[in-house]
Amino acid sequence: EFIEEIRSTLPELPDEKKQRFISEFGLSSYDADVLVAERPIAEYFEEAAKGQDAKIVANWVTSDLFGYLNKEGLEISDSPVTGNQLGALVGLISNGTISGRIARDVFSEMCETGKDPAEIVEAKGLKQVSDTGELEELIDEVISNGRAQLEQFKSGNEKIIGWFVGQVMQATKGQANPQMVNEILRRKLAE
């Protein structure tokens, strides 16, 4: 009983934490190893992963955040982006507010300014265009301006759909929700 009481007050050991990250968050053994290598990294990750897709958070921590910290010669404790802020950024991607591409730009600004992602997205007008009506209008316009490409599509050239997607993305300065654009385009081109 006394031993159990003491054990319950001890910090979680790296191997235990690794197993928990694998079972609780569904991380690969490699990602879990990287994230438990140092206690501040594990704590940062757990803060960022609260209520978010932990695999996406792990990817952002191990690629984008570590890349930035290495480039700047900083430790995770010196990161201008808090775990909560990184989690909020992942949340904006998950709920479709911004795309992964836009998120990279927002992350860069977060590193420079320390501002929250939602604040940056709002101030710069970076929200994805996910309004079906607005996208349908744009797509109708792109299809009517792309008669030659439409003929190619109808002749069996499936790859030409990329041209249509590109035109819509260009018209929205990259802010259209690409998944929605693809769905609407495929539906309209099949008509």
Domain match, 37 and 89 both: yes
Residues 85 and 174 in one domain: no
Q: Are residues 107 and 138 in the same domain?
A: no
In total, how many domains does the chain have?
Answer: 2
For Cα atoms 65, 59, 16, give the angle at the middle one, nearest 5 degrees.
100
- Average confidence score pLDDT of the chain: 92
**Do 11 and 42 touch, CB atoms closer than 8 A?**
no
Where is the domain boundary, 124, 149, 164?
A: 124
Domain that holds residue 172: 132-190
> 172 and 103, same structural domain?
no
Q: Are residues 46 and 100 in the same domain?
A: yes
All residue ranges of the chain with pLDDT < 50 are none
| Backbone φ, ψ for residue 91 (5° rounding) | -60, -40
The CATH number assigned to the domain holding 170 equals 1.10.10.410
Of the candidates 124, 148, 179, which is a domain's last residue? 124
User: 44 and 115 in one domain?
Assistant: yes
Whose tokens are 């030659």? That residue is 148
- Cα–Cα dist 60/103, whole Å: 10
pTM over 0.85: no
Same domain, 48 and 142: no
Q: With H, G, I as helix, E, B as strand and everything else as coil, classify residue 35.
A: helix
Does residue 165 fall inside a structural domain? yes
Cα–Cα distance list, 165 to 105, 145, 157, 159, 178 (Å): 21, 13, 14, 11, 8
Half-sphere exposure of residue 175: CA atoms within 13 angstroms, side-chain side: 13
Tens of pLDDT along 9-52?
777 888 999 999 999 999 999 999 999 999 999 999 999 999 99
